Structure 1
Amino acid sequence: MSEDGKTPAWTRHLGHTGITWPFTPEGAKQAIADVAAAGYSGIELFGFVLDEYPGGLDAVQDDLAAAGLRYVSSYCSVSLVDPELRDSDLTKMRRWAGQIADLGGSVAVVGPDQRHREAYAAEDYTRAAETLNDIGRICASFGVHACFHPHTGTPVETRDEIRQVMDRIDPDVVAMAPDTGQIAKGGADPVEVVRSYRELIKHLHLKDYVGGTSTVDWEGSTNDRTGYLDYVPVGDGVVDVVAILDALGPDWPGWVMVELDGTENSPRAPIDAARMSRQYLDQLTEAASSEAAGQGVRS
């Protein structure tokens, strides 16, 4: 709970990822300004965008300071299952973990690259877990948590695929950063996943999904029903946001990072979408505060 004992702890750690904006340094710079203006206190950017940021990390720090925004995490996409890419995966993760630490962040969100074949075997998931464990040890050396992030369109999308990896990771060095919208789009129940792995979850992507069966991949398509790869602002879809936050509990100390996948066909400006999600979450916070206050009066 907050210091006043009325609102959940996550309300103090509410941020937004940069994926709603273009995946460029210019897009990231705008995301920093917009996320702060929309009322969030932290941001997550892509590791590869930090690599390309003009002026390097000093410029990122300057932009964060100007916006009054905290750097929380980087999204880090690596192969995990391809043995020929293992060394480059680890090299990238060492660089990205160092950047996260230098910016004052604490989490590396580690997601697998896109699926490149129809089926994956147990040995692939064993390899993925072993690589994740090595990534976890690298991140820990920088004081950063490596948090695994299942993702649609990758070798770890369905509930069984999530289980295949989570049953094999070393929980002493690898945590979890589920994405509620990705899990729903992949056909699983995000509430069940959060409840099942609650003790391992150190970071959460809070994303909503339009519902039904999606045929939209990472690149988008004419089948995109929302302009956000079938996702929607938080509170506008089928994801049970209240149950997910309740499953985390009022004292869960991690960051809740709102996310919405922007495309060229997004129906509104990124800042407007971010404000819509923030407004919905503010309503939840107000409801929680009112309920806590009422309980205090009755006691």
Structure 2
Amino acid sequence: MKLGYMTNAFGLLVGSGGGVTSVKDIRYETICDDSEVIKRIAGHGFKSIELFDGNLERFVSDPDKLKKILIDNNVSLLGVYVGANYIYRDALEDELWHIERTAKIASSLGASHVVLGGGAVRASGIKDEDYDLLAKGLDNAREVVQKHGLVASYHPHLGGSMVETPEQIDKLFALTSIPFCPDIAHIAVGGGDPLEIVKKYYDRIKYVHLKDLMNGEFCL
């Protein structure tokens, strides 16, 4: 088992401006000095890190720079987190393009996991067919991630995702066999019992986000 830490705990989370007009450019990014944050994480004894796709993107033109940062701090890149809408048919092709591009870069840097988040909520609300669309989109995403030798896992996420509650998790997982990345705190805030959900889907858990809560707020 590998125990790591996410760099997103060290800065403001934003989205890429390019994603406003081009779906292929949608990504998460933590505003931070990646090198300094990785050094801090390593200083606390962690040997693995997870990055957002937007932070990984910073090193696309010079991946050796990130390799050197990892080597200098004696840590490895364990996984990369990527979000997408999945339910808009015309946009899915570009979303999968971005996911595969991210997986390819992550694989070249030694990562073994891609964490998939998302499932858009329409202005009119969630439609029943959206769970079928999300499941099919995740199955497609899993395929492109596996092409590069990585494991893809789905992360139910609060704040604008159509999979937040235990009932929504069950509804999605009845339609897809994608591995599960439970986030203990997100499950709790979504009204679930983290232990019971972990027990229920234990066989498909390949990756875990271990987060705590204090006064209803996430503790990273």
TM-score by length of 1: 0.64
Using a 3 Å threshold, how does the CA distance of structure 1 residues 52 and 39 change in structure 2: closer, same or farther?
same
Pairwise mapping of residues 1-299 of structure 1 onto structure 2 (< 5 A)? 10=1, 13-22=2-11, 23-24=29-30, 26-53=32-59, 56-112=62-118, 115-117=121-123, 119-153=125-159, 154-169=161-176, 171=177, 174-210=178-214, 230-232=217-219, 260=220
Using a 3 Å threshold, how does the CA distance of structure 1 residues 55 and 24 change in structure 2: closer, same or farther?
farther
Secondary structure, counterpart of 1:205 in structure 2: coil
Q: Distance in 2 between matches of 1:28 and 1:92?
A: 21
Unaligned runs of 5+ in 2: 12-28
The answer (yes or no) to whether the contact 2:30–2:55 under 8 Å persists in 1 is yes
- Residue identity over aligned pairs, in percent, reads 28
Shift of 1:184: 0.9
Shift of 1:50: 1.0
Shift of 1:53: 3.2
Q: Which has the higher contact order (CA 8 A, sep 6+)?
A: 1
Output the amino acid matched with 2:210. Answer: L
The aligned residue for residue 271 of structure 1 is none
The answer (yes or no) to whether the contact 1:16–1:43 under 8 Å persists in 2 is yes
Q: Distance in 2 between matches of 1:21 and 1:104?
A: 23
The aligned residue for residue 25 of structure 2 is none
Q: Distance in 1 between matches of 2:60 and 2:175?
A: 39
Using a 3 Å threshold, how does the CA distance of structure 1 residues 59 and 26 change in structure 2: closer, same or farther?
farther
Deviations 1:95-115 (Å, cap 9, x if unpaired)? 011012111111100000664
Deviations 1:200-229 (Å, cap 9, x if unpaired)? 0000000011255xxxxxxxxxxxxxxxxx
Unaligned runs of 5+ in 1: 1-9, 213-229, 233-259, 261-299
What CA RMSD, in Å, does the superposition of the two structures yield over aligned residues?
1.7
Q: Distance in 2 between matches of 1:25 and 1:179?
A: 22
Output the amino acid matched with 2:87. Answer: V
Shift of 1:87: 1.1
Shift of 1:117: 2.9
Q: Distance in 1 between matches of 2:68 and 2:121?
A: 37
Output the amino acid matched with 2:170. Answer: R
Q: Distance in 2 between matches of 1:55 and 1:68?
A: 23
Report runs of 4+ in structure 1 exceeding 4 Å deviation: none
Q: Distance in 2 between matches of 1:167 and 1:95?
A: 28
Structure (1 or 2) with the larger CA radius of gyration:
1
Q: Distance in 2 between matches of 1:188 and 1:68?
A: 37
The answer (yes or no) to whether the contact 2:5–2:48 under 8 Å persists in 1 is yes
Secondary structure, counterpart of 1:59 in structure 2: helix
TM-score by length of 2: 0.86
Q: Distance in 2 between matches of 1:98 and 1:68?
A: 22
Output the amino acid matched with 2:134. Answer: A
Q: Distance in 2 between matches of 1:17 and 1:113?
A: 22
Q: Distance in 1 between matches of 2:109 and 2:90?
A: 30
The answer (yes or no) to whether the contact 1:210–1:231 under 8 Å persists in 2 is yes
Secondary structure, counterpart of 1:123 in structure 2: helix
Q: Number of paired residues?
A: 202
Q: Distance in 2 between matches of 1:84 and 1:210?
A: 41
The answer (yes or no) to whether the contact 2:51–2:79 under 8 Å persists in 1 is yes
The answer (yes or no) to whether the contact 2:183–2:208 under 8 Å persists in 1 is yes
